[in-house]
Amino acid sequence: MVWSGLTVGVTGGAGFIGSHLVDRLLSEGASVVVLDVCSSEKAAQVPDSARLVIGSIADPDARREALSDCDAIFHLAAIASVVLCEEDSELSASVNRQASLDLLAEAGISGVGAFVFASSAAIYGEPQHLPITESHPITPLATYGADKAAVDEAITTLGLEEVPATALRFFNVYGPGQDPSSPYSGVVSIFTQRASSGEGVTIFGDGLQTRDFVHVSDVVSAMMTAGESLLTHSTASPAHATPFNVCSGETVTLLDVVATLDAITQQPMDVTHAPARDGEIRDSFGDPSYLIETLDWTPEVTLEEGLRELLDQL
């Protein structure tokens, strides 16, 4: 197994996606080091078999303590709140941009064999064509997307003598462990919680806006697949200095999500419509074919399967 016996660093490893990745890496035989600014509650959720370093990726000492001896690094830590990034652009620039660029440079100096960056579909901005491919113009609408785009560009312009690295552009990730009470949670976790408790939902706009929902297990699979290619082939890997969309390729409206939950629970939810939010992108869905063709990755969890899993765990 590729990961057995390796030391792997996961920034943001106590978070929603990161925790799933940590579990998968441990199951594959890796020694895992988590760097996260997590609360005591989230720290308790990090498996005892992983080493947890509590600290910010913006702290060079914390990065050095956690990641200096790693064979591979998965970089997921970020300020995820778009609103907070807008309100404090200096903080966003410090954490989401500069700390990430510093970490990338340090990974190259220390000889890391694979660096996988959690980029975002937010870097595309308002879609100019659908589905969105990796060649779509990079025109982020807000600070969060702009800072992600800066790191994404730094990775996709790396040379063959630099750290083996890739940028994975996540679309709308959902799955078990996503806190529906968090301001960062997506509509799937919120709608599922409401369906489970018999509550209604509020949809901003007509509900026909489209999104691309991808299950967290498929996201973890994409990260692992990309990391394995980099570890095996170094900068000769087709993943090196290459961006990939991580998405389902399926077009889903918010009303589709409600209808699927209604069908599963046999208890139709009350839907209230509110005015559309200013600046919200109406349609956004991606094309995963480049990742499928290049690294033989396939999204496996359908929306109905993912929603059933979420409901079963509530």
Q: Is residue 115 part of a domain?
A: yes
**Which distant-in-sequence residues (6+ apart) come within 8 Å of 187 by Cβ?**
211, 254, 257
Asked if residue 44 has pLDDT above 90, the reply is no
Q: Is there a cis peptide before residue 268, judged by omega within 30 degrees of 0?
A: no
Q: What's the CA gap between 137 and 126, in Å, rounded?
A: 10
Q: Is residue 292 part of a domain?
A: no
The pLDDT of residue 181 is 78
Q: Are residues 56 and 90 in the same domain?
A: yes
The pLDDT of residue 23 is 98
* The two three-digit tokens of residue 131, written as one number: 């589905």
Q: Are residues 231 and 123 in the same domain?
A: yes
Q: Are residues 192 and 115 in the same domain?
A: no
Q: Are residues 122 and 204 in the same domain?
A: no
Give yes or no for a contact between 55 and 12, defined as CB atoms under 8 angstroms apart.
no
**52-107: per-residue pLDDT in tens?**
999 999 999 999 999 999 999 999 999 999 999 999 999 999 999 999 999 999 99
Task: Please tell me the chain's helix, strand, coil percentages from 3-state DSSP, rounded to the nearest 5.
Answer: 40, 20, 40
* CATH number of the domain residue 242 falls in: 3.40.50.720
**106-135: per-residue pLDDT in tens?**
999 999 999 999 999 999 999 999 999 999
Query: What residue type is 199 in one-letter code?
Result: E
Q: Are residues 148 and 189 in the same domain?
A: no
The pLDDT of residue 170 is 98
Q: Are residues 107 and 199 in the same domain?
A: no
Which spans in 182-288 are helix H? 187-197, 216-233, 254-265
* CATH number of the domain residue 183 falls in: 3.90.25.10
Instruction: Count up the domains in the chain and report the number.
Output: 2
* The two three-digit tokens of residue 24, written as one number: 């998968």
Q: What's the CA gap between 108 and 106, in Å, rounded?
A: 5
Q: Are residues 264 and 282 in the same domain?
A: yes
The pLDDT of residue 38 is 92
Q: Are residues 181 and 58 in the same domain?
A: no
**Which distant-in-sequence residues (6+ apart) come within 8 Å of 136 by Cβ?**
124, 127, 128, 129
Q: What's the CA gap between 2 and 225, in Å, rounded?
A: 10
Which residues face 174 on adjacent strands? 215
Q: Are residues 107 and 229 in the same domain?
A: yes
Q: Are residues 204 and 121 in the same domain?
A: no
Q: Is residue 37 part of a domain?
A: yes
Q: Are residues 195 and 161 in the same domain?
A: no
* The two three-digit tokens of residue 8, written as one number: 């792997």
The pLDDT of residue 55 is 97
Q: Is residue 1 part of a domain?
A: no
Q: Which domain holds residue 27?
A: 7-173+213-246
Rounded to the nearest integer, the mean pLDDT of the chain is 96
Q: Are residues 228 and 118 in the same domain?
A: yes
Which residues face 283 on adjacent strands? 210
Q: Is residue 11 part of a domain?
A: yes
**292-304: per-residue pLDDT in tens?**
999 999 999 999 9
* The two three-digit tokens of residue 94, written as one number: 């410090």
Which of 60, 57, 64, 165 has its CA nearest to residue 113?
A: 165
Kindly tell me the burial class for residue 8, based on how many C-beta atoms sit within 10 Å of its own C-beta (0-12, 13-18, 19 or more): buried
Q: Is residue 31 part of a domain?
A: yes
Asked if residue 312 has pLDDT above 90, the reply is yes
Q: Is residue 133 part of a domain?
A: yes
* pLDDT interval class at 183 (50, 70, 90): low
The pLDDT of residue 195 is 96
Q: Is residue 69 part of a domain?
A: yes
The pLDDT of residue 179 is 85
Q: What's the CA gap between 180 and 194, in Å, rounded?
A: 9
Angle formed by the axes of helices 60-67 and 100-110, nearest 10° = 40
User: Which residues are known catalytic residues?
Assistant: 144
